[in-house]
C-alpha cells in the first residue's frame, strides 16, 4: 500500500517542484508596507502591478479609519456562529440590501469568500436533472462548483457565442427527453486572465429562444465597469438579463467576502441551502462595516473609477504603441503576451524586479501552454503617471533582452529564501 505522504513528497505537483529555487521570490513573495502602487519587496521599493486594488480603496484614509473603529468596537469575533443560527446582525442585512439595490436586484446574500461562495451557490441551485452550460475559461471556483454538480455540464469555447447556442440546443434537447430539469448558464463578466468581457448581451439575447437562467461572476467588473460601477451587465446594458449577479469583495472593494444578488425567492432559497454559509461562521462585523463604507465610496466617488480607467488606458495604449501584444482586453486587466521558456520567463521576471524595480506577476507552463509567457498587469487608481512611464520603459528594455536571447539559461534562477521549515 502506498503511504499518502510518501507519494506526495515524491511527486509534489508541477509548480511545487520549482519551490526549492523560487520559494519566497517567484512563489509566496512578501510585499510589505502600505498597500499602494509602491511597496517593499526584500527591502527595496518596487512598483507593484499585481494587486486587484482597482479603485485604490485598500489604503483610503476613510476606509482605514472605519475599519479600525469597527474592529475596536466589535473585535474580530462578533457575531459568533453562522448567520442562520446566531451570526446575523442589522449591518449584515443592511449591506445585503445596499448591494441588491446597487445591482438593481431584489435581494442579495453575503458570502464569506468568493471562491467557496460561488461553488456552494452552484451546488444549492442545481440538481441532478439540471444542465450547467459554462465558458471554457471560467475561474477555478466555477469549475470546482461544477465538480459538486451531479447533473450534466456542457462547456462552450471561450466567449464563442455560436458554441454557447449549440450547447443550449443540446441541453434543451436533453431536458425535453428527460421531461424534467432546467438550464443554468455561467460566465464571467470579465475574464481575469485575458481581461476580455464575457458576451453577456449576446448570451442574454438567447433568452428569447431558449429557457435558461444566467449566472455571472463579475469579480473583475464590479466597481470597474458600467456608468455607476455596477459591473459588466451595466456596461453592456443587459443587467436585466443577468438572473444571478456575483462578485467578490476581494478586488475593487479591497476587502474580503462576496455576495450574490438576484430575485428575492431565489436568494432566499440560497440563504437556506448554501452549505458554505450555513455550516460556517458569518463575516465578522468589522469586515461588514468596512464593506459598507467601501460600497459608499465606490458609489459616491466616481473619480476613483475615472482615475483607474485613465491609468489603465495610459498603460494599455503605451504598451500597444511600443509594439506589445496585449490581446483583446476591454477591462483594466492588462495581459502582455510574450514567447519563451519557463527558465527565460523567470530570469526576465527577476531582472525586471532587481534591475528595474517593477513587481509584476507572470503566468507560465503548466498553467498555459509551453513556450508562452503572460504578464498580468493590474492598473489601479493608486498608480501615477510616473509609475506607468517607468514600467513602459522597463518592459521595452526586458523585451529587447528576451528577444536577443539574453535570458536563455539552463535552469530557473535560484532566488529562494532560506526556509525555516
Ligand atoms: C472570477 C473570480 N471569481 C471568484 C474569485 C474568488 O474570490 P475570493 O478571493 O473572494 O475567494 C476570484 C478571485 O480570484 C475571481 O477572480
pLDDT 10s digits, 52-104: 999 999 999 999 999 999 999 999 999 999 999 999 999 999 999 999 999 99
Give the sheet arrangement for strand 358-359, strand by strand. Answer: 31-32, 38-41, 44-48, 358-359
Rounded distance from Cα 246 to ligand 1 centre (Å): 10
- Summarised one tens digit per residue, pLDDT across range 273-295 is 999 999 999 999 999 999 999 99
Q: Which pLDDT score, from 0 to 100, does residue 419 have?
A: 57
The residue whose CA is least distant from atom 2 of ligand 1 is 219
Q: Which pLDDT score, from 0 to 100, does residue 9 have?
A: 83
- Place 15 in a pLDDT band, splitting at 50, 70 and 90: confident
pLDDT higher than 50, residue 421: no
Residue 334 CB neighbours (<10 A) = 23
Rounded distance from Cα 118 to ligand 1 centre (Å): 9
**Ligand 1, atom nearest to 111 Cα:** 10
Rounded distance from Cα 378 to ligand 1 centre (Å): 15
- Place 388 in a pLDDT band, splitting at 50, 70 and 90: very high
DSSP code at position 224: T
Residue 418 CB neighbours (<10 A) = 6
Of 175, 199, 177, whose CA–CA distance to 126 is shortest? 175
The residue whose CA is least distant from atom 10 of ligand 1 is 114
**Ligand 1, atom nearest to 258 Cα:** 10
Rounded distance from Cα 146 to ligand 1 centre (Å): 15
C-alpha cell recorded at residue 279: 455550516
**Ligand 1, atom nearest to 192 Cα:** 16
C-alpha cell recorded at residue 286: 468589522
The percentage of the chain sitting over the pLDDT mark of 70, rounded to a whole number, equals 99
b or e along 219-251 (b: 16 or more beta carbons within 10 Å of the residue's beta carbon)? bbbbbbbbeebbbbbbbbebbebbbbbbbbbbb
HSE (side-chain half, CA atoms, 13 Å) at 203: 35
Q: Which pLDDT score, from 0 to 100, does residue 258 have?
A: 98
Rounded distance from Cα 393 to ligand 1 centre (Å): 31
The residue whose CA is least distant from atom 7 of ligand 1 is 114
pLDDT higher than 60, residue 420: no
pLDDT higher than 50, residue 148: yes
Q: Which pLDDT score, from 0 to 100, does residue 20 have?
A: 84
Given a contact cutoff of 8 angstroms between Cβ atoms, the answer to whether 291 and 223 are in contact is no
Instruction: Give the Cα separation of 330 and 190 in Å (integer).
Output: 8
Omega within 30 of 0 (cis) for the link into 21: no
Strands (E), 102-218: 107-111, 131-135, 152-156, 183-188, 213-217
Q: Which pLDDT score, from 0 to 100, does residue 8 have?
A: 85
Instruction: Give the Cα separation of 248 and 260 in Å (integer).
Output: 9
b or e along 144-155 (b: 16 or more beta carbons within 10 Å of the residue's beta carbon)? bbbeebebbbbb
Q: Which of 9-23, 113-127, 231-245 has the lowest mean pLDDT?
A: 9-23
The residue whose CA is least distant from atom 8 of ligand 1 is 114
Overall average pLDDT of the 199-203 stretch: 98
- Place 13 in a pLDDT band, splitting at 50, 70 and 90: confident
Rounded distance from Cα 250 to ligand 1 centre (Å): 7
Instruction: Give the Cα separation of 347 and 344 in Å (integer).
Output: 5
Q: Which of 230-234, 243-247, 408-412 has the lowest mean pLDDT?
A: 408-412
Angle at the Cα of 224 (from 26 to 300), degrees rounded to 5? 125
- Place 364 in a pLDDT band, splitting at 50, 70 and 90: very high
pLDDT higher than 60, residue 178: yes
Rounded distance from Cα 114 to ligand 1 centre (Å): 5
Q: Which pLDDT score, from 0 to 100, does residue 190 have?
A: 98
pLDDT higher than 70, residue 206: yes
Give the sheet arrangement for strand 361-363, strand by strand. Answer: 334-339, 372-377, 361-363
Overall average pLDDT of the 24-31 stretch: 95
**Helices and strands, counts by H and E, the chain:** 15, 14
Question: Ligand 1 pocket by C-beta < 6 Å: which residues?
Answer: 113-115, 118, 139, 141, 188, 192, 217, 219, 248, 250, 258
Instruction: Give the Cα separation of 86 and 281 in Å (integer).
Output: 9
Q: Which pLDDT score, from 0 to 100, does residue 19 have?
A: 83
Amino acid at each position: 500500500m502506498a503511504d499518502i505522504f510518501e507519494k506526495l513528497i515524491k511527486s509534489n505537483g508541477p509548480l511545487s517542484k520549482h519551490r526549492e529555487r523560487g520559494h519566497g521570490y517567484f512563489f509566496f513573495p512578501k510585499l510589505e508596507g502600505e498597500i499602494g502602487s509602491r511597496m517593499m519587496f526584500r527591502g527595496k521599493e518596487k512598483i507593484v502591478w499585481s494587486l486587484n486594488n482597482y479603485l485604490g480603496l485598500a489604503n483610503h484614509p476613510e476606509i482605514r479609519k472605519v475599519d479600525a473603529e469597527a474592529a475596536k468596537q466589535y473585535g474580530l469575533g462578533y457575531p459568533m456562529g453562522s448567520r442562520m443560527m446566531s451570526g446575523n446582525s442589522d449591518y449584515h442585512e443592511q449591506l445585503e440590501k445596499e448591494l441588491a439595490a446597487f445591482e438593481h436586484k431584489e435581494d442579495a446574500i453575503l458570502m464569506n469568500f468568493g471562491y467557496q461562495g460561488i461553488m456552494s451557490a452552484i451546488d444549492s441551485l442545481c440538481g441532478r436533472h439540471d444542465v450547467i452550460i459554462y465558458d471554457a475559461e471560467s475561474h477555478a471556483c466555477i469549475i470546482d462548483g461544477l465538480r459538486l454538480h451531479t447533473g450534466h455540464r456542457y462547456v462552450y469555447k471561450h466567449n464563442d457565442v455560436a458554441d454557447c447556442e449549440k450547447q443550449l440546443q443540446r441541453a434543451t434537447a436533453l431536458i425535453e427527453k428527460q421531461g424534467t430539469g432546467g438550464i443554468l448558464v455561467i460566465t464571467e463578466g470579465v475574464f481575469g486572465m485575458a481581461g476580455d468581457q464575457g458576451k453577456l448581451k449576446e448570451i442574454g439575447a438567447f433568452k428569447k429562444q431558449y429557457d435558461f437562467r444566467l449566472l455571472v461572476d463579475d469579480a473583475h467588473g464590479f466597481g470597474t465597469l458600467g456608468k455607476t460601477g455596477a459591473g459588466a451587465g451595466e456596461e453592456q446594458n443587459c443587467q436585466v438579463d443577468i438572473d444571478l449577479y456575483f462578485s467578490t469583495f476581494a478586488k475593487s472593494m479591497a476587502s474580503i467576502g462576496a455576495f450574490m444578488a438576484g430575485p428575492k425567492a431565489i436568494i432566499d432559497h440560497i440563504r437556506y441551502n448554501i452549505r458554505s454559509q450555513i455550516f460556517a461562521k458569518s463575516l465578522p462585523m468589522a469586515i461588514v462595516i468596512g464593506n459598507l463604507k467601501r460600497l459608499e465610496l465606490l458609489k459616491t466617488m466616481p473619480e476613483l473609477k475615472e482615475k483607474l480607467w485613465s491609468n489603465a488606458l495610459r498603460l494599455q495604449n503605451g504598451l500597444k504603441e511600443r509594439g506589445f501584444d496585449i490581446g483583446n482586453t476591454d477591462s483594466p486587466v492588462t495581459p502582455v503576451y510574450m514567447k519563451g521558456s519557463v527558465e527565460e520567463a523567470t530570469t526576465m521576471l527577476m531582472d525586471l524586479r532587481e534591475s528595474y524595480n517593477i513587481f509584476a506577476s507572470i503566468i507560465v507552463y503548466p498553467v498555459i501552454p509551453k513556450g508562452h509567457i503572460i504578464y498580468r498587469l493590474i492598473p489601479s487608481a493608486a498608480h501615477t503617471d510616473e509609475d506607468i512611464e517607468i514600467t513602459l520603459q522597463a518592459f521595452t528594455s526586458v523585451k529587447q533582452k528576451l528577444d536577443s536571447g539574453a535570458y536563455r539559461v539552463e535552469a530557473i534562477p535560484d532566488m529562494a529564501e532560506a526556509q525555516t521549515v
